[in-house]
Amino acid sequence: MPPSPAPPRHTAIVGLQWGDEGKGKIVDLLTADHDVVVRYNGGANAGHTVVTGGEKYALHLIPSGILYPEKVCVIANGVVVDPETLIHEMNTLHQRGIEIGDNLRISSRAHVVMPYHKVHDAALETFLSKTVVENGKDLSIGTTRRGIGPAYADKVHRSTAIRIGDLLEPDLLHRKLRVICAIRTAELSALNLDTPPLDPDELTDDLIAHGQRLAPFITDTTYLLHDFMAEGRSILFEGANACLLDIDHGTYPYVTSSNCSSLGIPAGTGVPGVHIKRVLGIMKAYTTRVGAGPFPTEQENEIGHRIRKRGHEYGTTTGRPRRCGWLDLVAVRYSAMICGVTGLACMLLDVLSGLDEIQICTGYRTPDGSITDRFIPDAHGLSAMQPVYETLPGWQEEIDEATQRSKLPDNAQRYLDRIEILTGLPLNIVSVGPDRNQTLKAVPA
């Protein structure tokens, strides 16, 4: 009897640090093995660049699976959708010859990022940045100013929220916006923002136009995903942002406003976690962070500059220089625990070539002098921790042409071995450059 085909494997991909781990490259690699790619959290604050066929695509909302005509991309209910950004991405892809039809599906229950959310996000950040509270520090988060927090806040408020499905209901939309605009105008002026009153008629017209453009793609994505699974199609869940930015489990309040760990998948898609047997955790060989918030292994020195320069560590969405530091395995272990990670991908190992010594943070010294190996998912508590390092010898050789892990310099192999030992997880993928062929894969990835 021929062997029965292996059951489809649904996979989650999630960042284990503070974002920008290189998830885009891994999503792109694994898309080939899956039929459907799903975004479950966040919005246009995420950004990844995919290079394929010599062409470069910068995507914020549409999963990069859209570049493969036979794959279906789903923007599920947990995402906050800025229709202007989404339509701009769709138009840009169309102009470059990428067809968008049945291969894109958007949840009618995803929430809408409204223009006033973006204004509010920026105004609040500016207001807070002028209000010093302690040691020269203010209360601003350093957000991407894409309206993410205010949009999720409205989702939780309920009465002031607009969902994608509402864009198809002009009368209801207009009635809601008349009330919402009055409230928002008052709130914006309280933030010292001298803007003209929001005009519900104009806003309704714009949103109806967006709704007409998006109508063919809007559906109940929860049933759609369950139908896909029943048909035997395999799903790739693409986490945006990263575990340490998770609203519940990250370094609160310096986090984003969604569950960006893999725990966001069930609520953000309607697919129970029990279906997802493979969770690939993406980490850099070092650590970066954008925006404010504690970062125990940050190197505000030559090492940090060097990593930023070699790793091109500037934000895809905002262009901001990223803060850089040593690998923090206390943080990675914590994220792997929260996300149920079954294997790791270590990105940007090539950036560390040329250093005499490399440090790995294995624990934190607490203010009372004791050492802990536990992460503290709270900004105030974490900022009191001092990193405890293990020092490893570096390697001088460039490794971007390596094709196998066993061919890497001994000290690079030692570094990777140490990561596996200290996390207790296998390194399924090691990346030594941006291209697909600069990827060292263990089997199975």
Q: Which is nearer to ligand IMP, 67 or 290 (CB)?
A: 290
Helix H, strand E, coil C: the string for 259-328 is: CCCCCHHHHHHCCCHHHCCEEEEEEECCEEECCCCCCCCECCCHHHHHHHHHCCCECCCCCCECEEECEE
Q: Which is nearer to ligand IMP, 317 or 428 (CB)?
A: 317
The CA distance from 320 to 313, in Å, is 9
CB of 328 to ligand IMP, least distance (A): 15
CB of 147 to ligand IMP, least distance (A): 8
**Residue nearest ligand IMP, CB atom distance:** 291
In angstroms, what is the C-alpha Rg of the chain? 22
Query: Which of 279, 246, 276 is closest to 260 using CA atoms?
Result: 246
Would you call 111 a catalytic residue per the annotation?
Answer: no
CB of 358 to ligand IMP, least distance (A): 23
The 3-state DSSP class for residue 53 equals coil
By CB under 6 A, name the binding residues for ligand IMP.
Answer: 18-20, 45-46, 141-144, 146, 148-149, 240-241, 245, 254, 256-257, 290-291
The CA distance from 262 to 316, in Å, is 22
Active-site residue identified among 10, 28, 34, 48: 48
Would you call 350 a catalytic residue per the annotation?
Answer: no
The CA distance from 416 to 426, in Å, is 10
Angle of helix 200-214 versus helix 170-190 axis, rounded to 10: 130
In the numeric block, which tokens belong to residue 281?
Answer: 């955790």
Q: Which is nearer to ligand IMP, 19 or 63 (CB)?
A: 19
The CA distance from 374 to 65, in Å, is 36
Q: Which is nearer to ligand IMP, 20 or 89 (CB)?
A: 20
Q: Which is nearer to ligand IMP, 278 or 322 (CB)?
A: 322
Active-site residue identified among 20, 121, 166, 246: 20
CB of 184 to ligand IMP, least distance (A): 18
What are the residues facing 386 on neighbouring strands? 365
What are the residues facing 391 on neighbouring strands? 359
Query: Which of 370, 374, 368 is closest to 334 using CA atoms?
Result: 374
The CA distance from 380 to 439, in Å, is 38
Cα dihedral angle (315, 340, 344, 144), rounded to 10 degrees? 0
Q: Which is nearer to ligand IMP, 126 or 366 (CB)?
A: 126
CB of 19 to ligand IMP, least distance (A): 2
CB of 45 to ligand IMP, least distance (A): 4
Residues that are catalytic: 20, 48
